[in-house]
Structure 1
Amino acid sequence: MKRTEQMTPLRMTVPSLAAVLIVLDAPAPIVVLCLVAAGLLFMRAQNNERVQMACICLLMTVTTSIHASTHHSAFQGTEAEWVISFTDDIRLGGDRLQAGVVETSTGEPFQLRYRMQTEKEKHALEKELAVGMTCRIKAEASPPAPSRNPGEFNYRQYLATSGTFFVLTADQLKLSQCVHSTSIHHLPGKWRMAAIDQIEAVFPEPLSSTAAALLFGDRTGGSEEVNEDYERLGIVHILSISGLHVTLLTGLLFFVMIRLGVTRERSRVVLLAALPLYCLLAGASPPVIRACLMTGAILFAASHHQQLKASSALSIAFIAMILYNPFSLFQAGFQLSFIVTFALVLSSGIILKRAQSAFELSWFVSILSQIAALPVLLYHFSELSLISPLANLLFVPFYSILMLPLLLILFLFSFVMPVSLPAALANALLIKMNQLAAFLSDLPVAVLVTGQPGMAVLAVVAFIAAGCFVLWENTGRLKYSLAVCGFLLIGLVFLNKYTPYGEVTFLDVGQGDSIFIKLPFNQGTYLIDTGGQVPFEKEAWMARDHSFSVGKDTIVPFLKRKGVTEIDKLILTHADFDHAGAAAEVLESIPAKEIIISPGSGSVEVMAGILETGLPVREGIGGEQWAAGDAFFQFLLPKDRTYEGNNDSLVLYAEIGGQSWLFTGDLEEAGEMELIRTYRLQADWLKVGHHGSKTSSSKAFIDGVSPEFGVISAGVKNRYGHPHKEVVETLEEAGVFIYRTDEHGAVTYTFKGKEGRISTVIPEK
């Protein structure tokens, strides 16, 4: 590193980051890493630089403390009536209205949810409801949903980073109770929605979704499959507005103004005025704000006949954003934007010096971006795209150099002339690129699932990633840095697979069952049931494009966070949707060596998708047993081959981690009586049958099994009233300690040898 080029931005940012993390009580390993980096910079600094660092630390400590002290809602959440203003995108998907942000009269942001009752009401809202409209509504305020499974995306914390603490669920949304606002404050939001509507009107799909994403930062449209392909390739960032997009658009506008005879000074003034507006039009996400602040800082310096380096502009943007909202540090988009940009800016001199061609330049940028993003990608997504550098070489030029200018030109011309023919040609080309993305994403080597590292390991990963840049700088050989990263990733996968710790986790899948068992040293990975939702027929207007899926949105991400790429046994206790409905979705991403189902249940409708996977499926039967390491498993029921429902659930007894376990599926009282008549049975842990329904868990059964712990898997405020009051009383009278997924989230027993500990995602009250 050249000290004259890099000392200034590092001196500004690293101490700032350390101060903010300390005040916000960030994880200790990350704080220590930042403090060590700040200490090294302080030792290398001159006296005047040390004074600057101390002043920055003091400023950040004070401002962050002020933010932290006021980081709560001004409302109690008990209010019944609200006056809200629509300030952000308004989307109607199926029968649901979802506004990204609405504001109260105090300016506090809220999320709004509303379920439309009729198709006529939907059409009326689509036509009349607009950004800037102020409405009086009756709504229930509730905190956003927290994470309910280990390592899961925490929606509550995410909204809190932007100062949103409540979700409003409206009972009614009457247009007669709404008025249009003439405030200039809402003009950017109105223009943004009008622009997106224009794109949807004149461009075909998927071009319209791509144009909305590239020009105005709206990624709510588009195919879910295409988005998944781009995520697997590690190139989903090119569908978001980034620094490259802002630079290209700014450069294009500057060039046009110069060609029209506008002076450079006046052009810079126009751009400085336009950048804040474009930032709002583009959705004001952290990458957009960062890019606009950097560009604005460089233009402002140039207008005063000063040359501001990109590294200094980036530091200014970082400090400005942290001063405004220090909690944005915890957003993945913020982290990726700054980490990757800092790495590339600080390495730009070496990259330009060593790149002998445009291809080499693109290759260096792609590889170094991946190395810099490594800690963030592993923590938030638990996987890494191995062909991301190659995919970037193919797709970044296509989107940035070809599609972005073309879409901008077509969009502007669409207001004065038809653009259907060139739009159709561009759409055909885009479809071909999406097909290429689908092909590449399906390659076996496309993605490496690493598992989610703990904070201490993450700090080590960040340190090694930084060391890779130093290694490349000093040796000039990128292959050495790649080798280090390769050994690091292999080590992470190995440690995750062959950990001496095992676990049994009762996942929170709402009203359903799913239990994950992982034995130490990769001796066995089992999944008992997958949860799932009962499909209800809806009218066409009520169907949503992107609806929640237990398999894709809960089970698969959890398994990836555990580093699981293949399940040894998927055990489906019986053919109910709330136990097997998500199995086909899970198997699309995480295959199983074998799938074991209840005898005779293969002909039931819910099993059709499972049989179509082509994976080995067989029936389990009472008496079958197997051992793995120190663990023992045995199916106890059913004994016959005729499937009749809940009482033909596969009942599994296991000895794991020094504890005995009884997993009962939806076994009801008749099946329970058969079980205790057939076996002299006791278990430390009981998966309470049928979600705590009163048709299960009879007193005789509980007394016979005599469990110490009982786990009830039930959905929050489920329609069935599970668990039933009588069942809870029966368990309590027997001295059973009860865990409930509706109250505790996922329940995990982690063990080493015969010793273990119990943890819940939602702390016990």
Structure 2
Amino acid sequence: MIESLRDSNPRKVHHVHRPALIGALAIGLGIALDAAFESPYDISFLALWGTGCFCLLVAASALYIQRERLGTWAVLLSCVITGAIRHHQVVELQQEATVREYASVEGVPVRVRGQLTTSVVIDEAEYGPRIPSWLELDSSICDLRVDELQVSEEWASVSGTVRVRVSGHLTTAQVGDFVEVVGSLRRPQPLSNPDGYDFAKLLRREGISVLLSVSHPAALEVTSRPSNLWWKLLRVREAVREECRRLFVENLSPKSQSLALSMLLGDRTQLTKQDREIFQESGAMHLLAISGLHVGILAGFVTLVSRFFSLSERKTAVAILVVTILYAGLTNHRPPVLRATLLICLVIFGATRRRHVDLLNALACCALVLLLISPEDLFDLGAQLSFLAVLAIIWSIDLLKRLRVAATKSDALLSENWRWLERIRPAIRWLVQGTVITATIWFVTFPLILSSFHIVAPIGLLLNLLLIPFAGIVLGAGYVFLLTGWFLPVLGHLTGAVFDAALRAFLWIIQSASDLPGGHFCFSGFPSWWLTGFYVLLPVSVAASRWPTIQKGTCVSLSVWCLGMAWLALLPPKSDELRVTVLDVGHGLAMVIELPSGEVLLYDAGNTGNGSRAESAVKDYLWSRNQHRIDAVLVSHADHDHFSGLFGVLDQFPVRKLLIGQSFLDFTQRGTFELCEAAAKRNVEIELLQANDVLKTDDHDPSIRIEILHPTGDFQSKSDNAQSLVMKLTYGERSLLLTGDVEEDGLKRLLSSPRNRCDILMSPHHGAKSSNPLDLLEWISSELLVVSTSDRSVGPRLRSFVPDDVSVATTVESGALTLRINRSGRISVDRFLEEPNPQ
């Protein structure tokens, strides 16, 4: 990794040895294989240990008899097994957590004792006209290592870590405290929608077994304080962070406070959803979270201060090491920060020894250390993007060297008339270097960012040329402000005003870039198989540039993969089926209808609360199906839990029509006017529907018929539910009835019309007893009753009184339900949490 400067002959660059790179790749492969092929712990762990010892024995024997190739392969296999063993150890620790045995999905009242292992973080609630008042309550989050648990009368010894969420501000407890807590112990909900956010998997990777919900801060009582030196150091760190927060509150504007907390301390809890979105849309998300860039800027700041005080080179190196290590601890040492800190330590160690540092091998050494400490970092998105960005910088430096050689040769050909270019050469060089590095990082990280966030921000290519230098100025102003605030309070207000102005200007640039037309696009991401191929071909192509004989072939392969295979991967699916997917959104409704013609309809999209669950479920599902537009959105009625998720959907998907009933325009329900206004701003055509209306498809397929059965034009009711738009969807000889929340006088009016047989009935009002009488089942004569609900008692209750030949499927039990009807009339029901079940 570190070579003598005397041996850094450019002609020998092809023969640089990078053992850390090979080792990191082998250990990463072992971790990935162990994660992919789960097996019983006692069998696989012993087998891995035995195989690893055998490989080491073979390696030692091969090296002893000078069979280097055999020894090398044996060592590599040992590294692979080491990665698998390390990952297995982490998984085993999670499996040994006995506290999980006492939890359930619904929640079990318990009293627990244990020790807080993390600082208490205040999660500020969102506020707004569309958010119910009962959701406008802050909460406190921390992790608790549980030692004892009481369910009935007796205490039981348990093990495991739980994530505690307390309603309100918890101010009496700190990290390391021993506490006794009363709350509800529950298991995290499994992933229940296609391509959704797997919160349970994220918790497992963090070593969290279950969740503990606490209704009030008084339900958590501190029993004793820690005496261990480690916990005291963590409390000192938290005190320093709290002092930084105090300085921000006293000297910065509210908007600047949240941005300063994120950029300097890595605390993003006070950032709103809108704040995160504008950074994503401007391609500057990497500046919001603390990363290697921030650590590098800090190291540069320390270097400038050291030069100002005329410190020696050795003292400057020590100062950089001490400050970056302390900063990594202050910011909760996330993987990107640890990677940058380790890399700086290696580079400085080499510089003080007058040795040349191979950056690629040093980066691999950082990866190797991090993977051995925390194998789950291999799957951490932040860590992946951090290492990819540094790889891109290393590759771009190599490219810039070649460009510099070409520029040097061309200088000799410049005529006297062009010698004036010498005067602006530094500016040109800076512009070229910035463009090459930024473009390389963008190209390397773009596929992973698109697949994770479903957004493309071309504006980021240009914006980062301006923002990265400016970010250095902003962060430098922040460091000066913190130093003066701590040690020279008299100057704190002045430096705070400068820092606040810099943050305001920084945020204004981000906001302007986000609002720029064409600056960003929302798009479905690449599938896993495409990402795997891309990130295998990319380094192969870069490495092949040193061997002209194979360079052309690898570049052609990468180009074909990027263009041809990407086009294939992003194509919307073609099928002659009618596909109706009822997404699991808790208490609410969101249904995506995909017609054989390729048109996409959305029937409701909302849930109780702020609508984020329905919004995410709809967007994730559409992206998983490579659908990039919605032809029509039909809102059944003016209940918040049926349209609250549409605002975010309108932001990221072009919608042709918004279809509503006359009662929706009453505007007495919160959010109805805002939804119509949001649709009008986006040039969405708004149409009113009533009974006997028929919706036309683009291809006028006679086998598809979409008609409205209720309400009629003369129907009036005080209840929004009663005025729900009831839609019948027919494909060939099969049909579905979508009922919204129709009940009471609306349901009576519907049942008074002629019988209307449908094969599948969407249960009205989430399976409520009053909305699902036997009269409705007899009137419709359906084979399948589908329910969107968060109540696990609904399914058993409905099955207790419906006829035996009627199946009941609920989203709370089965996750997302996909109903597929082919041209021959065969109905299939795919349950996301179960195997497909043909009807």
Query: Scaled by the length of structure 1, what TM-score is found?
Result: 0.84
> Does the CA contact (< 8 Å) of 1:132 and 1:189 recur in 2?
no
Q: Kindly indicate whether the alpha-carbon contact (under 8 Å) linking 2:695 and 2:707 is maintained by their aligned counterparts in 1.
A: yes
Q: CA deviation at 1:332?
A: 1.3
Measure how far apart 1:9 and its partner are.
Answer: 5.1
Post-superposition offset of 1:257: 4.0
Distance 1:458 1:414, change over 3 A: same
Does the CA contact (< 8 Å) of 1:131 and 1:190 recur in 2?
Answer: no
| Aligned: 1:640 with 2:710 | no
Q: 1:490-531, CA deviations, whole angstroms, 9 ceiling, x for partnerless residues?
A: 71585126677763211122211110112346x311110111
State the partner residue of 1:307: 356
Mapped to 2, the partners of 1:325 and 1:548 lie a distance apart of 35
Classify 1:46/1:351 alpha carbon distance in 2 versus 1 (closer, same or farther; 3 Å).
farther
Contact 1:196 1:216 in 2 (8 A): no
Secondary structure at 1:513 match in 2: strand
Q: After superposition, where does 1:42-441 map in structure 2 within 5 Å?
A: 49-77=72-100, 78=102, 80-85=111-116, 87-91=118-122, 93=124, 95-104=137-146, 108-116=160-168, 122=169, 125-126=170-171, 128-174=172-218, 177-181=222-226, 183-185=228-230, 186=234, 187-257=236-306, 260=309, 262-269=311-318, 271-303=320-352, 306-354=355-403, 357-399=429-471, 401-415=472-486, 416=488, 417-441=490-514
Give the secondary-structure state (helix, strand or coil) at the position aligned to 1:252: helix
Question: Aligned partners of 1:582 and 1:661: how far apart in 2?
Answer: 23
* More deviation, 343-352/686-695: 343-352
Q: Does residue 459 in structure 1 map to residue 512 in structure 2?
A: no
Q: Which runs of 5+ in 2 are unaligned?
A: 1-11, 39-67, 103-109, 126-136, 148-157, 405-427
Contact between 2:523 and 2:628, CA under 8 Å: does it hold in 1?
A: no
1:692 and 2:767 correspond: yes
The structural deviation recorded for 1:6 is 7.9
Aligned equivalent of 1:610, options 675, 678, 682: 675
Q: Distance in 2 between matches of 1:445 and 1:498?
A: 29
Answer yes or no: is the 8 Å Cα contact 2:191–2:197 preserved in 1.
Answer: yes
Shift of 1:670: 5.2
CA distance in 2, matches of 1:282, 1:216: 5
Query: In angstroms, what is the RMSD of aligned CA positions?
Result: 3.5
Q: In the TM superposition, what whole-angstrom CA distance separates every residue of 1:731-753 from its partner, at most 9, and x where no partner exists? A: 3x343222212222222235776
> CA shift at 1:113, angstroms?
0.8
C-alpha change, 1:598 and 1:171, in structure 2 (3 Å) is closer
Number of aligned residue pairs: 719
> How far apart are the structure 2 equivalents of 1:170 and 1:533?
21
Equivalence for 2:689: 620
For the 8 Å contact 1:88–1:102, the answer to whether it is kept is no
Percent identity (aligned): 21
**Pair 583,245 (structure 1): closer, same or farther in 2 beyond 3 Å:** closer
Q: Tell me how far apart the structure 2 counterparts of residues 758 and 151 of structure 1 sit (CA, whole Å).
A: 18
- Hey, what does 2:782 align to over in structure 1? 707
Distance 1:6 1:177 in 2: 55
Quick check: 2:611–2:645 contact (8 Å CA) kept in 1? Answer: no
Distance 1:510 1:311, change over 3 A: same
Q: What SS is found at the alignment partner of 1:605? A: coil
Change (3 A) 1:752 1:764: closer
Q: Give the whole-Å Cα distance in 2 for the aligned partners of 1:502 and 1:309.
A: 57
- The Cα offsets for residues 278-331 of structure 1, whole Å up to 9 and x where unpaired, read as 212112112111111222233344455543322112111111111122122222
1:331-379 deviation per Cα after TM superposition (whole angstroms, max 9, x unaligned): 2112211223223324432234326622222222222212222332233
Cα distance, 1:634–1:303 mapped onto 2, change above 3 Å: same
When structure 1 is superposed on structure 2, of 284-293 and 213-222 the one drifting more is 213-222
Return the offset for 1:189: 3.2
The answer to whether the 8 Å contact 1:272/1:300 transfers is no
Q: Which moved more, 1:168-177 or 1:385-394?
A: 168-177
Structure 1 CA distance, aligned partners of 2:242 and 2:117?
A: 12
SS in 1 for 2:722: helix
Task: Give 1:689 deviation, angstroms.
Answer: 0.9
Contact 1:525 1:569 in 2 (8 A): yes
Aligned equivalents of 2:352 and 2:827: distance in 1?
65
Letter in 1 for 2:833: I
The aligned residue for residue 528 of structure 1 is: 603
Cα 1:225–1:264 change in 2 (3 A) is: same
Corresponding residue to 2:815 among 728, 745, 749: 745
After superposition, give the CA deviation of every residue in 1:103-126 in whole Å (9 maximum; x if it has no partner).
Answer: 44699543211113xxxxx5xx44
SS in 1 for 2:479: helix
Aligned-residue offset at 1:24: 0.7
Q: Distance in 1 between matches of 2:516 and 2:759?
A: 44
- Give the C-alpha shift of residue 454 in structure 1: 3.2
Query: Partners of 1:303 and 1:657 in 2: how far apart?
Result: 78
Moved more, 642-651 or 147-156: 642-651
Q: 1:752 and 1:388, CA in 2 relative to 1: closer, same or farther beyond 3 A?
A: farther
- Worse-superposed segment, 557-566 or 193-202: 557-566
Give the C-alpha shift of residue 141 in structure 1: 2.2
Q: Radius of gyration: which is bigger?
A: 2
Shift of 1:215: 2.0
Q: SS in structure 1 opposite 2:15?
A: helix
Contact in 1 for aligned 2:99/2:209 (Cα 8 Å): no
Q: In structure 1, the residue corresponding to 2:94 is in which secondary structure?
A: coil
Report if the CA contact (8 A) 1:158-1:331 is conserved. Answer: no
Distance 1:633 1:323, change over 3 A: same
Structure 1 match to 2:590: 514
- Specify which of 649, 655, 659 is matched with residue 586 of structure 1: 649
Q: 1:736 aligns with which of 796, 806, 822?
A: 806
Quote the offset at 1:89 in angstroms: 4.3
Quick check: 158-167 or 71-80, which moved more? 71-80
- Structure 1 range deviating more: 569-578 or 266-275: 266-275
Give the letter for the 1:230 counterpart.
Answer: F
Kept after mapping to 2: 8 A contact 1:669/1:697: no
Distance 1:276 1:751 in 2: 60
For residues 457 and 396 of structure 1, do their structure 2 counterparts lie closer, same or farther at Cα, with a shift above 3 Å needed?
same
- Measured in 2, the distance between the counterparts of 1:87 and 1:578 equals 35
> 2:144 touches 2:161 (CA, 8 Å); kept in 1?
yes
Aligned CA distance change for structure 1 residues 5 and 363 (closer, same or farther; 3 Å)? farther
1:745 partner letter: G
Structure-2 change in CA distance of 1:500 and 1:425 (3 Å): farther
- Do 2:450 and 2:523's aligned partners in 1 also have CA atoms closer than 8 Å? yes
Contact between 2:583 and 2:590, CA under 8 Å: does it hold in 1?
yes
Q: Secondary structure at the match of 1:446?
A: coil
CA–CA distance in 1 between the matches of 2:491 and 2:342? 35
Match of 1:30 in 2: none
Q: Name the SS for the 1:410 alignment partner.
A: helix
Please state how far the C-alpha of 1:58 moved relative to its aligned partner: 2.8
Residue 568, structure 1, aligned to residue 631, structure 2: yes
Letter in 2 for 1:20: I
The CA distance in 1 between the partners of 2:575 and 2:364, in whole Å, is: 40
Alignment partner of 2:95: what SS? Answer: coil
- Checking the alignment, whether the CA contact within 8 Å between 1:137 and 1:172 is kept in structure 2 is no
Kindly provide the CA deviation profile for residues 109-150 of structure 1, in whole angstroms up to 9, marking residues without a partner as x. Answer: 43211113xxxxx5xx44x44444432222232223333321
CA contact (8 A) 2:113 2:178 kept: no
Structure 1: tracts of 5 or more residues without a match? 28-44, 117-121, 535-546
3-state SS of paired residue (1:413): helix
